[in-house]
């Protein structure tokens, strides 16, 4: 992408050229960017990296199974108002006092184009994305209580991540730019690891990569280890002062990579086979 001012990855985040292109296209077209990918491929970190490299504020809206779309816009704290009114607190007559903006609201109000991360949108109710269509399209919403329209002065850069727990509605998908983060190949992975551990010895790195990709290649592993687990594992190896030979022979701390009992059993069995 011929975009000198655009996103080019950051010091702590290594992005593939396709991913960088997606980010820049999403920014140029003013559309939300939907990111999917295996757990641990750095979906959430992407937003941080974008904010960092473009020098913008980052707002994170973490979605849970109970999150409602309305919460992202604003919440009217009626109970607080009721309480205050009983004790004659000041400012009770001003409803605006009890309107608390959600993350989306904050992003709209922000003066300088922030990066808004809507993290794990698929965790919420099935209809959740549909409830945000208008707001994400028009970048505005209406507060009924104060008859005020909150409109974004500058469209925030919206990054949405999904783990594909639920299918997202078509109407929502149509409005997004989509990118699927592929699992990094060895080359890119080495680069990623080096960002985290700049002083890592080469032979240890090679050995770890070897073992890591070998485990991932086992067909009967149910939960394949991901980038973040590899990073944790190398961290553990470094703290334990373990050499490349020991990794090869004993595979210490393998529990960091494999979390399921079945997977550990498979791993042990397969290691005997080799």
Summarize as ranges the residues that interact with other proteins (CB under 8 A).
Answer: 1-2, 18, 21-22, 24-25, 28-29, 31, 34, 36, 65, 79, 82-83, 86, 126, 165-170, 173-180
In the complex, least distance from residue 37 CB atom to other proteins, rounded to whole angstroms: 8
Determine the Cα–Cα distance for residues 23 and 2; give it in Å rounded to an integer. Answer: 13
In the complex, least distance from residue 175 CB atom to other proteins, rounded to whole angstroms: 7
In the complex, least distance from residue 26 CB atom to other proteins, rounded to whole angstroms: 8
In the complex, least distance from residue 222 CB atom to other proteins, rounded to whole angstroms: 13
> By C-alpha distance, which of 248, 224, 231, 174 is closest to 12?
231
In the complex, least distance from residue 13 CB atom to other proteins, rounded to whole angstroms: 19
Determine the Cα–Cα distance for residues 141 and 4; give it in Å rounded to an integer. Answer: 33
Bridge partners of residue 117, in order along the sequence: 60, 159
In the complex, least distance from residue 258 CB atom to other proteins, rounded to whole angstroms: 22
In the complex, least distance from residue 113 CB atom to other proteins, rounded to whole angstroms: 18
Long-range CB pairs of 66-72 (<8 Å, 24+ gap) are 67/123, 67/124, 67/125, 67/128, 68/124, 68/125, 68/128, 68/131, 69/128, 69/131, 69/132, 69/135, 70/102, 70/131, 71/102, 72/102, 72/103, 72/104, 72/105, 72/118, 72/132, 72/135
Maximum Cα interatomic distance, the chain, rounded to a whole number of Å? 77
The encoded tokens of residue 141 equal 């919403």
Report in angstroms the alpha-carbon separations of 38 from 24, 103, 165, 240: 22, 26, 11, 29
Place of tokens 């393998």: 254
Residue 253, helix vs strand vs coil: coil
Q: Smaller CB distance to other proteins: residue 130 or 228?
A: 130
Q: Smaller CB distance to other proteins: residue 19 or 192?
A: 19
Place of tokens 């999150």: 67
């Amino acid at each position: 992408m011929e975009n000198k001012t655009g996103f080019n990855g950051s010091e702590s985040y290594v992005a593939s050229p396709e991913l960088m292109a997606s980010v820049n296209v999403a920014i140029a077209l003013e559309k939300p960017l939907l990111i999917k990918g295996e757990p641990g491929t750095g979906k959430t970190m992407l937003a941080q990296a974008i904010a960092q490299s473009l020098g913008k504020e980052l707002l994170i809206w973490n979605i849970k199974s109970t999150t409602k779309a309305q919460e992202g816009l604003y919440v009217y704290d009626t109970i607080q108002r009721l309480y205050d009114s009983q004790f004659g607190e000041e400012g009770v007559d001003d409803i605006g006092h009890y309107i608390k903006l959600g993350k989306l609201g904050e992003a709209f109000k922000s003066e300088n184009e922030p990066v808004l991360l809507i993290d794990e949108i698929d965790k919420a109710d099935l209809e959740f994305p549909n409830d945000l269509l208008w707001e994400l399209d028009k970048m505005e919403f209406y507060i009924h209580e104060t008859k005020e329209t909150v409109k974004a002065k500058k469209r925030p850069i919206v990054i949405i991540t999904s783990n594909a727990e639920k299918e997202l509605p078509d109407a929502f998908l149509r409005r997004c730019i989509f990118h699927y983060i592929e699992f990094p190949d060895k080359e890119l992975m080495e680069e990623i690891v080096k960002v985290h551990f700049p002083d890592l010895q080469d032979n240890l790195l090679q050995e770890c990569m070897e073992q890591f990709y070998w485990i991932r290649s086992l067909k009967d592993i149910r939960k394949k280890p991901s980038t973040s687990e590899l990073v944790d594992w190398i961290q553990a190896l470094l703290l334990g002062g373990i050499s490349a030979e020991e990794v090869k022979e004993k595979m210490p701390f393998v529990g960091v990579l494999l979390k399921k009992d079945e997977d550990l059993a498979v791993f042990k069995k397969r290691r005997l086979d080799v």
